[in-house]
Amino acid sequence: MEPIDPKLTEKYNTFISFYNPFLINWEKAIVTSIGLDTPVQPLTDPSQVSSGASFQTPTRVEINAYIQKLEKTLGKSFPPITDALPSTLDANVINEINQHISMEPSIYQNALQWMNTSLSAAHAQLDGLKKSPEGFDVMDKYQQIEPFDNCEEYAKCMSDPEVVSKIAAAQNEQQLKKENEKRKAFENKLDKINNDSTVQSEAAKNEALIQKSKEIEAQAKSGALLNQFNLSNNDDSLSHFIKPSGVHKLEDMKKNNPKEYETNEKNNGQILALGTLLNSISNTVA
């Protein structure tokens, strides 16, 4: 088998530099969405605090089932969660990607835009509160072999070293042609997604929004963010504020299902910190 073309390896490295980080952020976003869609069951007995059911991190199957549900709801296609791709490209990796990983740019555009819209809305709300392949002829290489009329001639022919050598060479060339076709199809897929300007711009936007969320989380934990808000109770302009319907959801989760709260705090700290801050502000101004 021929070694992998260095140019193909370079294109693969470009793709995984996008794909593997994307997988991490995409899975976190979906798990967070699942958690927010999961109703909090109030505790009926104090003993349930230590022994009661907590939010269980969804399995890969459950996550991908939720993505399929999201596709039906929004009428858009999204990529499923898979294992991260290895750093080294070989024939097995090419086959795995061709069989199990979609490289259609539009599904990554949809996922990035869905994440970016959610993050941008949260940041805007916070800012607002501050202000207020084809086939081939497999017999082609056998045309040089002379025909035979009976089994005796066939046996004699197949024992001829020259004939056997020609058949082996034709089989090797056929296998090489198949492998090259797979690699070419794979390369075309890499070019399509690596050169997609929308995927690139949305990925850059997603990275910037995630970095901003991390900064907000750090400010929220230190208390510095709260100092940026005008929370004066003497401001008559605040009298029209109404508490959002879900303002107590995180508080209730922490009280009634502490294990679920701890799991979300560990896995989705940025969004949880932002939600806690917004709820605190809502309780103060309304």
Contact 119, 209 (CB under 8 A): yes
Q: What pLDDT sits at residue 135?
A: 39
pLDDT band per the 50, 70, 90 thresholds, residue 54: low
Higher-confidence residue of 151 and 68: namely 68
Q: Which amino acid is at 18?
A: F
In this predicted structure, the answer to whether residue 228 has a pLDDT above a threshold of 70 is yes
Residue 46 DSSP class: T
Going from N- to C-terminal start, the domains of the chain cover 6-132+196-285, 135-195
Beta-carbon contacts of 136 under 8 Å, excluding residues fewer than 6 positions away, are 177
In this predicted structure, the answer to whether residue 206 has a pLDDT above a threshold of 50 is yes
Tell me the per-residue pLDDT of 174-199, one tens digit each, with 9 for 90 and over. 777 788 888 888 899 899 999 999 99
In this predicted structure, the answer to whether residue 125 has a pLDDT above a threshold of 50 is yes
Summarize the confidence of residues 1-20 as an average pLDDT: 91
pLDDT band per the 50, 70, 90 thresholds, residue 250: low
In this predicted structure, the answer to whether residue 126 has a pLDDT above a threshold of 90 is no
Contact 192, 109 (CB under 8 A): no
Of 215, 216, 208, 210, the C-alpha closest to 281 is 216
The whole-angstrom separation of Cα 234 and Cα 202 is: 43
Tell me the per-residue pLDDT of 96-119, one tens digit each, with 9 for 90 and over. 998 889 889 999 999 999 999 988
Q: What pLDDT sits at residue 137?
A: 40
The whole-angstrom separation of Cα 131 and Cα 23 is: 35
Higher-confidence residue of 43 and 195: namely 195
Count the residues in the chain: 286
3-class SS at 22? Answer: helix
